[in-house]
Chains A and B, each alone.
Chain A
Amino acid sequence: MKRRFIMEFERPLIELETKLAELRTLEVAEAPELAAEIDALARDVEELHHETYAHLTPWARVQVARHPDRPKTQDYVAALFADVIELHGDRHFGDDQAMFTALATIHGHRVAVIGHRKGKTTKENIARNFGSPQPEGFRKAMRMMRLAQKFNLPIVTFLDTPGAAPGIEAEERGQAWAIAESLALLSGVRVPVVVVGIGEGGSGGALAIGFGDRLIMLENAYYSVSSPEACASILYKDAGQAETAAGCLKMTADDLVGFGIADEIVREPLGGAHNDPDVVIGAVGERVVAALDMLAGQEPGVLVEKRYSRLRAIGVHEGGEAEPG
């Protein structure tokens, strides 16, 4: 059997559960008081199990969002979409494996799918740069947005990236330019855009394909201006303060709905989506279809205007002159 991946926050629980399982193998028929103690321990462990998973801290959610067995973009695409035609490349430089683009059909809606692509194995993750796109990844996404607009196909995006790739090549090829152009394009694309935050929503690399007419967040997905590690390293000069930073950044699905930035949350089974991927994927499918149904009839001009108004309303500020126009 595959070795279980243990998240930091669940380690104490799992150690106890393992001990309990060992105790269970003891022959206790001759020692009823020992059996009673084991039963008491079992009740404690069960309580701890509930406590550990029922109210995840923001930092625990980040770990769940990064869980290697968490359903990935390719799992959603395989399970929810039919007649999938993957399209490769950005027409400028390369075919970024960290960005997936395809034509696909969901419940009668023919759409363009754009998603960050992480791997499930180390080998896959290296090929896909752990889901961190290079500039060509964002240009590949833009190519898909233009295609979608030209042929009137709604866009469905899946967010799962720790962030845009940092590095010499990324800078040389204009990482900032690629992201900025993607933001500009996405803001005005004349087809419905449905965004699903399925795991990590790291910074500009997520935002480049991460806003539109509907934002659906998985319960343990996060979406943040910076990774908690980067925030901690900047503000505390200590990446070890990531747990504190995760709380300060208000980056959970519940936070985002509270801010009016995300529209709805897909709840996950206790402990995270990896514990029952099929149920979560199915629920995401229903919400995506509902969003596509809702947006289908809208006139493109109205759609784009509403999208702008949505963005326009985000921010907390006061004073200044009356808004122009």
Chain B
Amino acid sequence: MPISDWFKAREGRQYTSATAGRGSDMPDGVWTKCESCKHIIYEGELAENDRVCRHCGYHFDLTAMQRIESLVDEGSFSQVDEGLSGGDPLGFSAAKPYVESLAVARERSGLAEAALTGRARIGGHDVIVGAMDFRFVAASMGSAVGERVTRAFELAAKERTPVVFAIASGGARMQEGMFSLMQMAKTSAAAARLAETGVPYISILTNPTYGGVTASFAVLSDVVLAEPGALVGFTGQRIIEQTIRQKLPKGFQTSEFLVERGMIDEVVARPKLAAHVALLLDYLDADGGERP
């Protein structure tokens, strides 16, 4: 990959490493430019700091696997439903065939779908953990993502294990039409059933979280956390600007904006997230490990 690719605008969403990690297997001599403060950062240093810029605090995008590794106790993650993947129920082909987009997404991410779920521990608490991968059709929710999320909630209810879900998504997956829209109802129903069991659910909203995912399972948690500067909302900014024909206020739809308006509980910087979630679980999952 030519070095110029490392400096692509964030829209390009070039991920600088396919593996997570804390520096061990990083290629030497690779430098990354911070998209916010433009500082040139050594790749190894970035990885060590959970991919947060030491100069300005900018949070780089994480892949789903990087996200999980940054959140859970080391070596504790085991994936469930690894092979669960979606199809092309509408035979959708606008601009380009959906099956092609899926193939590209699988190739690029190495994942079967945009959500990754499994068992892990956070601060010693057993959890069902989930994360989403923006490289996979903008981490949009189609049948397979909806099914994985629903199964994660059902598994958590059955095993009485808390859910911690790190969310990023462009919204419902257009290419699966009504099957996608109905995943909003399906995942919300599963979240509601989990809530009835008294098993805690903590969601972490990361940049960006929009549309049908925000408006369903993402915010049906007991505690909603978000990363600094994450954009979270229902309607995307471009659509709102087109609709109201005016510029949006600075900081609109950022996690700081949302905490001010009472919509989320706390903005937590990524390096502190795991400890923050662990402490929350100490309160909400006090009987952790003692469950039958």
Contact = CB atoms under 8 A, between A and B. Distances in A.
A and B form one complex: yes
Interface of A: 164, 166-168, 170-177, 179-181, 183-188, 203-204, 207, 211, 223-226, 230-236, 241, 244-245, 248-251, 255-256, 259, 261, 307-308, 311-312, 314-321, 323-325
A248 B92 contact: yes
Nearest to B212: A204
Nearest to A166: B235
Contact of A177 (B90, B184, B219): B219
Given A168-B248, A176-B233, A316-B87, A311 B182 contact: yes
B60 to A, nearest CB: 25
Contacts of B243: 166-167
B189 to A, nearest CB: 3
Contact of A251 (B177, B183, B234): B177
Interface of B: 80-87, 89-90, 92-95, 112, 142-144, 146-148, 150-151, 154-155, 158-159, 172-174, 176-186, 188-189, 191-193, 195-196, 211-212, 214-220, 232-235, 239-240, 243-244, 248-249, 252-253, 261, 263
| Most chain A beta-carbon neighbours within 10 Å: one of B94, B154, B173 | B94
B261 to A, nearest CB: 5
B188 A223 contact: no
Contacts of B182: 207, 211, 261, 311, 314-315
Given A235-B174, A314-B186, A319-B112, A248 B144 contact: no
B147 A315 contact: yes
Contacts of A184: 188-189, 191-192, 195, 220
Q: Which 4 A-B pairs have the closest CB atoms?
A: A320-B84, A315-B143, A187-B189, A320-B81
A181 B220 contact: yes
A170 B178 contact: no
B178 A261 contact: yes
A207 B189 CA distance: 13
Given A180-B217, A211-B185, 18 more contacts: A171-B253, A176-B232, A180-B188, A180-B214, A180-B216, A184-B188, A187-B185, A204-B234, A226-B172, A235-B174, A248-B92, A256-B178, A261-B178, A261-B182, A312-B150, A318-B84, A319-B84, A320-B82
B227 to A, nearest CB: 17
B190 to A, nearest CB: 8
Chain A facing B: main interface SS: helix
A231 B176 CA distance: 12
A319 B113 CA distance: 11
A233 B220 CA distance: 29
A224 B83 contact: no
A220 to B, nearest CB: 16
Given A184-B220, A211-B185, A167 B112 contact: no
Given A172-B261, A225-B178, A319-B84, A180 B235 contact: no
Contact of A317 (B86, B181, B188, B235): B86
Contacts of B84: 317-320
A167 B178 CA distance: 24
A94 B91 CA distance: 43
Contacts of A186: 185
A168 to B, nearest CB: 7
A315 B94 contact: no
B103 to A, nearest CB: 16
A164 B184 CA distance: 14
A318 B85 contact: yes
Contact of A308 (B85, B92, B189): B189
A314 B185 CA distance: 10
